[in-house]
Amino acid sequence: MSCAARILTSSIARSSTLQFAPKRVATSLRYRGKSTLDASKVKKATATATGEASTASSSAAKPATDASSDSVPIGKTVAAMTLAITTVMGVAAVAEVATSQSVPTFDPKKERFDQSSFIGRFSKMILACDPFLMTYSDETARAYKEMVDDYENLLKNLPNGVTEQEMSRKLWEAQRISSAALHPDTGDTIPLPFRMSG
């Protein structure tokens, strides 16, 4: 195959409109330093390329019609979303229960989990992304915020039958809920979908 035919074939194959202009190709070939162009070679390349282009366009049109008849699998999408949300909620519950025995004394300026270990960072993030955080009302979040603000008094004056570790766990949970539901600077309620952003 001649150089002109290869150029024509490759340019037509790459063309999205699949249109051919022999004069434009001939001009571009002359511009590239190929001033001798045999008209019969251009016609032969045009016929070959046009045949390949029409075959390519008919095969390209067929999958497009098949794709338009496909529908979005709503049922599978909802099932996958439900499974993902349930998985995160389950892992968050397991992380909460698994770390409940090793809760440090509450201090709002510190972290509940050791951030130097993977398990500590994972536990912090999985609890921050817990979808269950969307179930707390504005009033509940504000009550938890008041509890966190009054943490020193609660730790000094423990209710009967409540240990310091249990109170610290309740305070850590109250901080998690209130920080997810209330903006830290303004105190405004954070819209539900953004409460899981960590």
Q: Which of 156, 147, 139 is nearest to 176 (CA)?
A: 147
Q: Which of 41, 49, 38 is nearest to 10 (CA)?
A: 49
pTM: 0.60
Please give the Cα distance from 105 to 93 (Å, whole number). Answer: 21
Distances (CA, A) of 33 to 36, 37, 163, 166: 9, 11, 90, 85
What is the percent of the chain with per-residue pLDDT over 90, rounded to a whole number?
39
Q: Which of 9, 32, 31 is nearest to 20 (CA)?
A: 9
Region 10-39 average pLDDT? 49
Q: Which of 145, 137, 141, 125 is nearest to 196 (CA)?
A: 125
Q: Which of 55, 18, 24 is nearest to 42 (CA)?
A: 24
Residue 98 is which amino acid?
A
What is the percent of the chain with per-residue pLDDT over 70, rounded to a whole number?
63
pLDDT computed for residue 69 by the predictor = 52
pLDDT computed for residue 184 by the predictor = 85
pLDDT band at 132 (very low <50, low <70, confident <90, very high): confident
- Structure confidence by residue, pLDDT tens digits, 120-130: 999 999 998 88
- Structure confidence by residue, pLDDT tens digits, 78-123: 999 999 999 999 999 999 888 888 899 999 999 999 999 999 999 9
Please give the Cα distance from 81 to 29 (Å, whole number). Answer: 56
Residue linked to tokens 């790459």:
14
Q: Which of 95, 88, 94, 85 is nearest to 121 (CA)?
A: 95
pLDDT computed for residue 195 by the predictor = 77
**Is 143's pLDDT higher than 70?**
yes
Cβ(169)–Cβ(100) under 8 Å?
Answer: yes
Q: Which of 50, 8, 13, 52 is nearest to 28 (CA)?
A: 8
- Structure confidence by residue, pLDDT tens digits, 66-80: 555 578 889 999 999
The residue that leads in pLDDT, 198 or 139, is 139
Helix/strand number for the chain, H first, E second: 8, 0
For 169, counting Cβ atoms within 10 Å of its Cβ (0-12 exposed, 13-18 middle, 19+ buried), the class is buried
